[in-house]
Amino acid sequence: DVKVTQSSRYLVKRTGEKVFLECVQDMDHENMFWYRQDPGLGLRLIYFSYDVKMKEKGDIPEGYSVSREKKERFSLILESASTNQTSMYLCASSPSIIRGQVHFGNGTRLTVT
């Protein structure tokens, strides 16, 4: 079974803090993704990566950056957290987008106060 592990289930941070969300997958998948999910807006893609050290902007990259130094690990960074970044963050991985399934981690509920 594919396992996508997010480091924290719940996180509370203050406005202006730098926040790191970590994600590790154990299936040697090429593709990794960060989504945020908000009521009424669904899943929105923040960034994705199709290879080590490669990254592509998704639909809402503003205020975020990512790092992929190793194939199994994909980190999301909030450089200066703001209250409008309070959300559920979901990491996912996939072997191939054309034929492959996207597997999600359990999510991190981030609250910025």
Partner 1 sequence: QKEVEQNSGPLSVPEGAIASLNCTYSDRGSQSFFWYRQYSGKSPELIMSIYSNGDKEDGRFTAQLNKASQYVSLLIRDSQPSDSATYLCAAGGYQKVTFGTGTKLQVIP
99 binds partner 1 (CB under 8 A): yes
Smallest distance, partner 1 to C-beta of residue 75, A:
18
Per CB under 8 A, the segment of 20-28, 65-73, 78-86, 98-106 that binds partner 1 is 98-106
25 binds partner 1 (CB under 8 A): no
48 binds partner 1 (CB under 8 A): yes
Strand spans (E) along 1-113: 4-6, 10-13, 19-21, 23-25, 31-38, 42-49, 56-57, 64-70, 73-78, 87-94, 103-104, 108-112
Residues that bind partner 1 (CB under 8 A): 31, 33, 35, 40-43, 45, 48, 50, 56, 58, 90, 94, 97-107
